[in-house]
Each structure stands twice: as structure tokens, then as C-alpha cells.
């Protein structure tokens, strides 16, 4: 069957074709002038748009490194002070052990006692002389009665001396024991206070560490806000640079959107059967049909 071919060409209006050509030239370029496709776009150096650490943050980092172990001197001093307090408590405990009062005995007590004994002897001699004088008056001097009186008087003098010695020793011992106990109590208080001071020294180290960390946290907060503000400015500069790079493509897309609503140049091809009402065409068609039939018959006979 014969067919007829028809070609249909649609084109933009002449006033729009020049804009289409300009847009294509902008994209693909012209001789001696590369277009956007052949032009390499600059790539921003993104490292330049990263905000570094601020001075406050760097100061916080330095203080954090310098503050490591800053509490150790306080702990060592506190441990030494506590050890001193424990030693003082040990000395205080010794003040309550037997024999501790010897260190508190009055070294001048013996001299006082000796002076008292001398005075007792002197008074005893006077009493002996008076007894002898009375014996002389009574005419019994050198007699047995005088001997008894003198013996009794001598024994009384010895008793007085012994009593004075015992009283002085007891008084000195009691005073020494009381002094030892008071010294022990005083040393105990000193030891307790010293141990408490050691704990306070250790606590100062912990407090200093905590305050240092608080200062570091404050510096990091301030530096973080400064870094965020600086980073926002850098990102704004990066967006402006990227927009400047993309600006030609934005204009091109805008123009393309305008031209997209208009038909582009195109060619369409369509086919349809040829006119068969002509007698000649009909004869040709019959002839071709007959030839086809003969060919079929020939193939059949040929097989025989």
C-alpha cells in the first residue's frame, strides 16, 4: 500500500528566536567565547569560613591544663597537718600514763623542804634548851626525867620533819599530776584542732579546683557565644559568595522559565495511505495481487 509523507515544522516567533539563541549561546558559548557549560565555576575555600576558637576559649583551655593537679599541694599540706595533729594526740595520751607527772615535778620543792626542816631543827633545839633550863630550875638536870623529856621532844621533832616531807612530796606530786593532765588535755585540743585544720586545707584544694572549673566553664560559655556569632557572620559571607557564583545560572533559569511556555522549533513527520480511487492504481493493485498469487502457486508447485 502506498503512503504519503507530510512534514510539519513549528518555530518560535521571530521576536523570541533571538532570545532563544542568546540563551543557548550563554549556555554553550560561541566561537572564542566559552559559555557556562565550558566555564569552570570557582569553588569556595570552605576552610576560610570556619570560625576558630576565640580568645576566651583558648584562655579556658590554658587554665584547664594549668589547673590539673592544682589541688595536690593542698592535699599534701593537709595530710602533713593531720599527721602533726595525730602525733600531738599521741603525746596527749602519754600525759595520762603512770610516771608522766615526773616531768612536771617542781624542782624547787626539795630546797623548800630542806629550809623547812632546818627551821624545824632550829625550833627543836630551842625546845631542848628550854627543857634543860626547866630541869636545872627543878634540880633534875641530868636525871632520868630530863632524859625522858628530851627523848620525847626529839621524837616529836622527827615526826614533824617526816610529816613535812610527806606533805611536801604529796603536794608536789598532786600538782605535777594535775599539770600533766592539763597538759594532756591541752595537747589533745591542739591535736584535734590541728587535724581539723588539715581537713580544711584539703577542702581548700577541692574548693580551689571547683572554683577553677567554674571559671573555665564561664570562659567557655562566653567564648562559645562569641564563636557562634563569628560563625554566623562567616556563613553569611559564604552564602553571599555562593549566590554570586550561582547568579548567572539563576538568571538563565529565569529566562528559561519564560521561554518554556512558548513552543520550541520542532519537526513532525506523518504518513497516510495514498489515494486508491485511480483506475491505474487499482490496476496496479490487482496486478500486484495476481503476481503474489502466482508466486504462491509457484512455491507450492516448486515443492512438488
| Residues 292 and 219 grouped into a single domain | no
Confidence of residue 1 (pLDDT cuts 50, 70, 90): low
C-beta of residue 285 within 8 angstroms of C-beta of residue 276: yes
> pTM above the 0.85 mark?
no
Instruction: Please tell me the total count of domains within the chain.
Output: 2
Q: What is the pLDDT of residue 4?
A: 67
C-alpha closest to that of 75 among 194, 190, 208, 198: 198
Mean pLDDT of the 148-157 span: 77
Same domain, 230 and 289: no
In the chain, % of residues over pLDDT 90: 13
Which sign, positive or negative, has the C-alpha torsion 42, 43, 44, 47? negative
Task: Say if residue 149 is in the same domain as residue 212.
Answer: yes
8 A C-beta contact, residue 27 and residue 267: no
Same domain, 254 and 287: no
* 174 and 113 inside one domain: yes
Residue 40 located in a structural domain: no
The pLDDT value recorded for residue 184 is 80
Query: Given this model, what pLDDT does residue 5 score?
Result: 67
Same domain for 159 and 85: yes
* Signed CA dihedral, 158, 159, 160, 166: sign only: positive
pLDDT 10s digits, 88-114: 888 778 777 777 667 777 777 777 778
Q: Is residue 64 part of a domain?
A: yes
In a domain, 247, yes or no: yes
Range of the domain at 92: 55-259
* More reliable by pLDDT, 290 or 158: 158
Domain shared by 175 and 292, yes or no: no
Mean pLDDT to the nearest integer, 169-185: 80
Per-residue pLDDT at 300: 33
Q: Per-residue pLDDT for 296 more than 70?
A: no
Report the range of poorest mean pLDDT among 94-108, 205-219, 266-280. 266-280
Same domain assignment for residues 67 and 158: yes
5 within domain boundaries: no
- At what angle are helices 144-260 and 109-138 packed, to 10 degrees? 160
User: Does the residue 122 lie in any domain?
Assistant: yes
Amino acid at each position: 500500500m502506498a503512503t504519503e509523507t507530510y512534514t510539519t515544522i513549528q518555530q518560535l516567533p521571530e521576536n523570541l528566536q533571538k532570545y532563544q539563541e542568546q540563551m543557548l549561546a550563554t549556555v554553550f558559548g560561541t566561537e572564542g567565547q566559552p559559555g557556562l557549560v565550558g566555564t569552570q565555576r570557582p569553588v569556595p575555600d570552605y576552610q576560610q569560613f570556619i570560625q576558630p576558637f576565640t580568645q576566651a576559649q583558648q584562655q579556658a583551655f590554658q587554665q584547664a591544663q594549668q589547673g590539673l593537679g592544682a589541688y595536690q599541694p593542698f592535699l599534701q599540706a593537709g595530710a602533713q597537718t593531720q599527721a602533726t595533729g595525730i602525733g600531738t594526740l599521741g603525746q596527749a595520751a602519754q600525759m595520762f600514763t603512770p610516771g608522766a607527772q615526773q616531768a612536771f615535778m617542781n624542782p624547787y620543792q626539795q630546797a623548800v623542804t630542806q629550809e623547812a626542816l632546818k627551821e624545824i631543827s632550829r625550833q627543836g633545839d630551842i625546845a631542848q634548851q628550854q627543857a634543860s633550863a626547866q630541869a636545872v630550875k627543878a634540880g633534875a638536870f641530868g636525871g632520868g626525867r630530863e632524859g625522858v623529856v628530851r627523848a620525847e621532844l626529839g621524837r616529836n621533832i622527827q615526826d614533824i620533819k617526816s610529816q613535812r616531807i610527806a606533805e611536801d612530796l604529796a603536794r608536789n606530786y598532786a600538782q605535777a599530776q594535775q599539770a600533766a593532765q592539763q597538759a594532756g588535755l591541752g595537747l589533745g585540743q591542739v591535736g584535734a584542732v590541728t587535724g581539723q585544720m588539715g581537713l580544711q586545707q584539703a577542702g581548700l584544694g577541692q574548693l580551689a579546683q571547683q572554683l577553677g572549673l567554674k571559671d573555665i566553664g564561664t570562659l567557655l560559655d562566653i567564648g562559645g557565644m562569641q564563636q557562634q556569632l563569628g560563625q554566623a557572620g562567616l556563613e553569611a559571607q559564604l552564602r553571599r559568595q555562593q549566590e554570586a557564583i550561582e547568579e548567572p545560572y539563576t538568571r538563565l533559569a529565569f529566562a528559561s522559565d519564560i521561554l518554556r511556555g512558548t513552543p520550541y522549533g520542532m519537526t513532525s513527520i506523518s504518513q497516510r495511505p495514498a489515494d486508491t480511487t485511480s483506475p491505474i492504481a487499482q490496476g496496479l493493485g490487482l496486478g500486484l495481487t495476481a503476481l503474489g498469487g502466482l508466486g504462491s502457486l509457484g512455491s507450492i508447485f516448486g515443492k512438488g
